[in-house]
Amino acid sequence: MTLHVYNTLTKRLEPFKPLDPPWVKMYVCGPTVYDKAHIGHAMSAVVFDVVRRYLEYRGYRVVHVMNFTDVDDKIIRRANELGIPPLDLAQRYIQEWFEHVHALNLLPAHYYPRVSLVIPQIIHMVQVLIKKGYAYVVDGDVYYRVRKFRGYGKLSGRNVDELRAGARVEVDERKEDPLDFALWKAAKPGEPSWESPWGPGRPGWHIECSAMNYYFLGEQIDIHGGGTDLIFPHHENEIAQSEAFTGKIPFARYWLHNGMLQLRGEKMSKSLGNLVTIDEFLQEHEADVFRLIVLSSHYRKPLGYDEGVVADAEKALQRLRGGLRPPMGRAEEGDEAAALEAQVRDVREKFLAAMDDDFNTAGALGHVFTLVRAINTARDAGVGGRPFAWAQATLLELAHTLGLELKEEAAAADVVPFIEHLIEIRSELRKQKQWALADRIRDRLNALGVALEDTPQGTVWRWKV
């Protein structure tokens, strides 16, 4: 079985063959850092984190680059409102992003380029594009000559004539063609700017990704990722720039796009004002809960978000963790142990098949739950020892491949002795069959968020979600 991925460029499932195995060059579009990141950004980050984890699990060595757009209209506007330098504002949110990387258990990218730090490379790329006839200068602006690039529209499935007909953008008369887009914008008063051969100015939005790709990963890359909302025009323009610049086709072999996170049936976005920030989510829930939400549907489909899916994920997480509870017996042989081992093998095989099929995490997760049930059944049957440990190790291994930690929330250490003391007293009461009192302690603790369970091995407790 080989890994197949859906390629937006060809609109089909293709066997995954990197240019230079085992290396995989992966570039993922990161956020424009002008405000707090929301869970839509987090979804994209988690999706490509899982892609990376699975590739690495399959033996590939991934070089992972994610950019920060720190020079942009919205950043400048926001910074002016706040009366601080634009790059300071950007830096604040970049810092927050790194905190999110940690909190969401994302594998850090190997490089985090930002526009403001690759200006010379961008200028060089624009110069080459001008020299090759793919760009032209107008009053200190530089535009990309879209019609010059054969194949424009191949990613988004549009053709230049349709685009022109549907163009609703205000036409800038200075451009040769309404479709042409800015590679370099002449400085306006009050804006950050850099010196260039065309006068002071700043880069257009699309050129940064082409430049970063080229300077950090080379002429061609294996995987380019981002949200579906970036397909047009951003990624289309990126292809035009990079392929015109290097002359190498294709710029990216596999284009992967994640669907949009939706709140109340609409895309979560700043402009619609229907967003939940990553901080807000993490204040209420664990990172695994969010990841479970993302994993539970296919990454290319829109992901509906509401209190219901969050509550489901909370419970589902508890179930997964339940599979990690210790064995009650120690039988290593017999039908039950053999059945468990067979299940482990079966689940692993199906898990891989699902993930190999364009990262079908929802299907893969279903198999993980099947493993959980197999483990629970075996535990009830008294299986322990090596077969049981192996099953649980497999459960953790597969969960970790998806980026799920499955760690129990650490209890505040200072309350533990009190809880354990109460449990001791209650156990004494139970021995004396003082049920009413014993139940009162249990109910009281339950109300405080501590769940008690009486097992043959004694009473165990855990925090309720």
Partner RNA sequence: GGCGACGUGGCCAAGUGGUUAAGGCAGGGGUCUGCAAAACCCCGAUCGCCGGUUCGAAUCCGGCCGUCGCCUCCA
**Tokens, residue 138:** 């107008």
Which one of residues 36, 234, 285, 291 is an interface residue with RNA (CB under 7 A)?
234
Rounded distance between C-alpha atoms, residue 353 and residue 363, angstroms? 9
Amino acid letter for position 151: G
Rounded distance between C-alpha atoms, residue 336 and residue 343, angstroms? 11
Which one of residues 193, 246, 262, 277 is an interface residue with RNA (CB under 7 A)?
262
Which one of residues 115, 211, 442, 450 is an interface residue with RNA (CB under 7 A)?
442
Amino acid letter for position 180: D
Which one of residues 19, 84, 167, 389 is an interface residue with RNA (CB under 7 A)?
167
For RNA, give the closer residue by CB, 204 or 250. 204
Reading phi first (left if > 0) and then psi (alpha if -120 to 50, else beta), residue 192 is in beta
The helix (H) or strand (E) run that includes residue 431 is helix 416-431
Which residue's structure tokens are 């059944």? 377
Which one of residues 267, 286, 289, 450 is an interface residue with RNA (CB under 7 A)?
267
Amino acid letter for position 171: V
**How many residues sit in the footprint of RNA (CB under 7 A)?**
85
**Residue 301 interacting with RNA (CB under 7 A):** yes
3-state secondary structure (DSSP) of residue 464: coil
Rounded distance between C-alpha atoms, residue 237 and residue 240, angstroms? 5
Which one of residues 227, 327, 384, 403 is an interface residue with RNA (CB under 7 A)?
227
For RNA, give the closer residue by CB, 22 or 157. 157
Number of H helices, E strands in the chain: 15, 15
Interactions with RNA, residue window 392-421 (CB under 7 A): none
- Residue 232 C-beta: closest distance to RNA, Å: 4
Q: Identify which range of 111-119, 140-148, 195-203, 435-443 contacts RNA by CB under 7 A.
A: 435-443
**Residue 289 interacting with RNA (CB under 7 A):** no
Interactions with RNA, residue window 351-370 (CB under 7 A): 354, 357, 360, 362-363, 365-366, 369-370
Buried b (16+ CB within 10 A) or exposed e, 386-408: ebbeebbebbbebbebbbbeeee
* Close Cβ partners of 304 (under 8 Å, ≥ 6 residues apart): 262, 265
For RNA, give the closer residue by CB, 61 or 319. 319
Q: Identify which range of 88-96, 120-128, 139-147, 160-168 contacts RNA by CB under 7 A.
A: 160-168
Rounded distance between C-alpha atoms, residue 289 and residue 162, angstroms? 43
For RNA, give the closer residue by CB, 195 or 428. 428
**Tokens, residue 436:** 């009413």
Rounded distance between C-alpha atoms, residue 337 and residue 344, angstroms? 11
**Residue 322 interacting with RNA (CB under 7 A):** yes
Which one of residues 4, 124, 270, 348 is an interface residue with RNA (CB under 7 A)?
270
Which one of residues 316, 340, 355, 402 is an interface residue with RNA (CB under 7 A)?
316
- Residue 247 C-beta: closest distance to RNA, Å: 26
On whether the CB atoms of residues 24 and 18 are closer than 8 A, the answer is yes
Q: Identify which range of 253-261, 282-290, 389-397, 406-414 contacts RNA by CB under 7 A.
A: 253-261
Among residues 188, 184, 190, 183, the alpha carbon closest in space to that of 86 is found at: 190
- Residue 297 C-beta: closest distance to RNA, Å: 3
Which one of residues 166, 189, 247, 458 is an interface residue with RNA (CB under 7 A)?
166
Prior bond to 326 cis, omega within 30?
A: no
Which one of residues 256, 327, 379, 423 is an interface residue with RNA (CB under 7 A)?
379
**Residue 430 interacting with RNA (CB under 7 A):** yes
Q: How far does CA 149 lie from the centroid of its chain?
A: 32
Q: Identify which range of 36-44, 329-337, 391-399, 415-423 contacts RNA by CB under 7 A.
A: 36-44
Compute φ and ψ for 227, nearest 5 degrees: -80, 155
Interactions with RNA, residue window 92-111 (CB under 7 A): none
Interactions with RNA, residue window 327-356 (CB under 7 A): 354
* Close Cβ partners of 415 (under 8 Å, ≥ 6 residues apart): none
- Residue 412 C-beta: closest distance to RNA, Å: 21
Q: Identify which range of 123-131, 244-252, 260-268, 397-405 contacts RNA by CB under 7 A.
A: 260-268
Rounded distance between C-alpha atoms, residue 300 and residue 259, angstroms? 5
Prior bond to 250 cis, omega within 30?
A: yes
For RNA, give the closer residue by CB, 52 or 379. 379
For RNA, give the closer residue by CB, 137 or 339. 339
- Residue 198 C-beta: closest distance to RNA, Å: 20
Which one of residues 2, 271, 432, 457 is an interface residue with RNA (CB under 7 A)?
271
